[in-house]
């Protein structure tokens, strides 16, 4: 029998029923597995990606799981700031619908979306595509959702992309991936003072 990642990590007995998680880039790869694991732990998972068909498959897989996990899909292109803002709005709406009793809060944000795109490709804003998708959009999303994260017990996770192994030239930016999260937290601290 195949062990699930949450069992290997030693959290298979945790229960996240009543908690909401947004997992960006969760229609394939590690993001998909994170979404499925959170669903098996009972969370409501907001599945994100660009492909609605792949998103529906992940939603079905979460909801067919053994626990009380539920899911919904929200499409957004991380190269488009307006789409990222719409993802934040859709997340707020989903959280409010799920947690009507307590006003709603997001418990877990997994910034997984990203990739390595061909050199010279620019977004519509004229920003290098890989930098925009891997750094600017996770930063924007995290800042947009800071007020919606559960005040006492929230988790923001970011993962380094698999392309880190492909080239030494991209290792430095990859190793600083969490700097986007650090910057978002510093922005939040300065807003509250």
Mean pLDDT over the full length of the chain: 79
Whether the pLDDT of residue 96 is over 90: the answer is: no
Neighbours of 164 (CB within 10 A): 16
Q: What is the CATH number of the domain that holds 27?
A: 3.40.50.720
User: Confidence band (pLDDT; 50, 70, 90) for 137?
Assistant: very high
Beta pairing partners, 71: 45
Note the pLDDT of residue 115: 86
Cβ neighbours of residue 34 under 8 Å, at least 6 residues apart? 5, 23, 26, 110, 112
The CA distance from 140 to 154, in Å, is 18
pLDDT digits (tens, 9 = 90+) for 97-117: 765 555 578 999 999 998 888
- Tally of structural domains, the chain: 1
Note the pLDDT of residue 59: 98
Q: What is the mean pLDDT of residues 130-154?
A: 86
What burial class does residue 88 get, using C-beta atoms within 10 Å of its C-beta: 0-12 exposed, 13-18 middle, 19+ buried?
Answer: buried
- Which structure tokens are listed for 167? 């080239």
Whether the pLDDT of residue 40 is over 80: the answer is: yes
Note the pLDDT of residue 177: 46
Whether the pLDDT of residue 193 is over 70: the answer is: no
Q: Which domain holds residue 105?
A: 5-192
Note the pLDDT of residue 113: 92
- Which structure tokens are listed for 84? 């990222």
Whether the pLDDT of residue 7 is over 70: the answer is: no
The CA distance from 64 to 69, in Å, is 8
């Amino acid at each position: 029998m195949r062990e699930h990642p949450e069992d290997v990590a030693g959290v298979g007995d945790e229960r996240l029923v009543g908690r909401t998680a947004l997992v960006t880039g969760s229609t394939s790869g590690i993001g998909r597995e994170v979404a499925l694991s959170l669903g098996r732990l009972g969370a409501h998972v907001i599945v994100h990606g660009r492909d609605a068909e792949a998103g529906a498959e992940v939603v079905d897989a979460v909801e067919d799981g053994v626990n009380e996990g539920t899911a919904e899909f929200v499409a957004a292109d991380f190269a488009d700031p307006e789409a990222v803002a719409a993802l934040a709005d859709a997340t707020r709406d989903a959280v409010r619908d799920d947690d009507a009793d307590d006003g709603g809060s997001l418990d877990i944000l997994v910034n997984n979306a990203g990739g390595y795109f061909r050199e010279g490709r620019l977004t519509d804003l004229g920003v290098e595509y890989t930098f925009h998708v891997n750094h600017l959009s996770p930063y924007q999303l995290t800042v947009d959702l800071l007020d919606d994260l559960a005040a006492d017990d929230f988790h923001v996770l970011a993962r380094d992309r698999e392309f880190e192994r492909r080239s030494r030239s991209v290792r430095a930016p990859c190793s600083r991936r969490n700097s986007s999260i650090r910057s978002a937290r510093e922005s939040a601290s300065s807003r509250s003072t």
